[in-house]
Amino acid sequence: MTQAGIFGLGAPEHSYLELDLVDGASAVDLVKAAAGLAGPLSTGGGVNLVVGFRPELWVEVVADGLPAGVTGFRAPIVGADGFQMPATQHDAWLWIAGSDRTTVYTNSREVLAAVADVATVATETGGWVYAHNRDLTGFVDGTENPSLLDAPGVAIVAEGPGAGGSVLLFQRWTHSTDAWEALPVAEQEKVIGRTKADSVELTEDAQPATSHVSRNVVEEDGAELKIFRRNVAYGTATDHGTMFVGFAAQQRILDLMLRRMAGATEDGLRDALTRYTTPVSGAYYFIPPVAALAGFAPEDAD
């Protein structure tokens, strides 16, 4: 069974924690500690918890538990003009989502207490759903997302090693909001490739080759390569942006999208949106299925 929180839409408050092993702790120690969080791993009680691991750490514990081609974010992606997608890989990732800030805070404290002996917090970021379905640019985010009926086929490994799991790309993007808001709406729409008010894709003749849509909508053998996004806003009035939370059954799709955005492909075209929002972190995590985690849970865990 897939970790249900991947598809647990509707929670307005979020917390993201990246962890690193403490000296003396092993990969299996960390997996066992995370597996002991069995209760929150399913949707219920007003909170969702999703757990992921650095791919190399997970395969150290479950030798045949990883799909082919899945690795940590080992090196920056550098575009033709020197623009970079940074690599800031950590050992584990926890995503707590809930109905209110109190719920998320309380559960985050409980989760961290449960893993305190084996891991330290490397990063912590709180997020929230902004204006229902928009990011801080004011545009609808996730327009290309599949429906919940189709999302498992996009996000979940169907068969073979790691079946029931998912590959996560996790990034924090900081926004240059003053520069963005100085653009007329018509220019903003050319950067994104959609209208701002109703999120209608610009016509082909009006769509710049560097627009965010042009760089992210990728086809292969006539079929669009899709991912499932669960992005939210983060930060304060003076320091803010987007938490990119993208799930896919294949890491290569996520990697290709990043390379196209950075201008690290043959055409050398960089996503125009990266002139106004900058990635400051980047990591890949494998989100194992619940059944795989259950094998490491303590006997008294539900």
pTM (two decimals) = 0.96
Strand, helix or coil for residue 233:
strand
CA distance 66 to 273: 33
The enclosing H or E element of 214 equals helix 212-216
CA distance 235 to 242: 9
Query: Does residue 141 have an active-site annotation?
Result: yes
Given 141, 150, 221, 239, the catalytic residue: 141
Give CA separation, 60 vs 31, 133, 217, in Å: 10, 38, 34
CB 49 within 8 Å of CB 112: no
Domain residue extents for the chain: 4-294
Q: What pLDDT, on a 0 to 100 scale, did the predictor assign at position 132?
A: 93
CA distance 131 to 136: 9
- What are the tokens at 177? 């909001």
User: Which phi and psi angles does 139 have, rounded to 5°?
Assistant: -95, 155
CA distance 91 to 57: 7
CA distance 297 to 58: 15
CB 253 within 8 Å of CB 154: no
Q: What is the pLDDT along the chain (302 residues), one digit of tens a residue?
A: 899 999 999 999 999 999 999 999 999 999 999 999 855 444 455 789 999 999 999 999 999 999 999 999 999 999 999 999 999 999 999 999 999 999 899 999 999 999 999 999 999 999 999 999 999 999 999 999 999 999 999 999 999 999 999 999 999 999 999 999 999 999 999 999 999 999 999 999 999 999 999 999 888 999 999 999 999 999 999 999 999 999 999 999 999 999 999 999 999 999 999 999 999 999 999 999 999 999 999 876 55
Identify residue 262 by its one-letter amino acid code: A
